[in-house]
Structure 1
Amino acid sequence: MQIKAPNKSYTGESFGVMFQHGVGKTDDPWLISRFKEKGFIVEEEPDEVNTADLEKQIAKLEAENKALKKQVKESKKDTTDAAAKKEDGK
């Protein structure tokens, strides 16, 4: 669990847990309850981000975006061509 000290700049040891810039970590239930009693904020630790997976997702979305832009461009061209043919036929 992530423990946030009331003083966001606190760096040091409290109840045997090291804090850096107001943030410490422990999974000890007794310590967690003590920190809560003392006004510390206890949160689940954020999941680690897998940047390789995110980069793959970004590449896939960029490719999809490029394909969609191409479709829109072709659709506009087809619409313009159809309108021009209609004008020529009048």
Structure 2
Amino acid sequence: MIVLKRISEKTVSTITKEGESSQKISTPRKKRVQEKKIILDDFDLCAVRNKIHEMYTVRKEVPTLGKLLAELKTDINFRGGRTTLWKIIRQI
């Protein structure tokens, strides 16, 4: 007699059906947390903040993501895209 704990009947029936239909039973893969691809230190975050401030006050223009991204790529070699820049601005 096999005693299974904390496993639903549906899971057991699915596994037995899979075992009857094929020779190999597959198990679910391990889910891994994806690392952040771009990590900015405090200096770079301050540079982004200063660039936004400069665009507002000195040049009197509205800093859009496109304009800001183009300037950050030339000034601090920013490697991210629009979505990454948007996420960084949200956390500032």
TM-score bin, normalised by smaller chain: under 0.3
The two structures have a TM-score, normalised by structure 2, of 0.24
Q: Higher relative contact order at CA 8 Å, sep ≥6: structure 1 or structure 2?
A: 1
The two structures have a TM-score, normalised by structure 1, of 0.24
Q: Which has more strand, going by share of residues?
A: 1
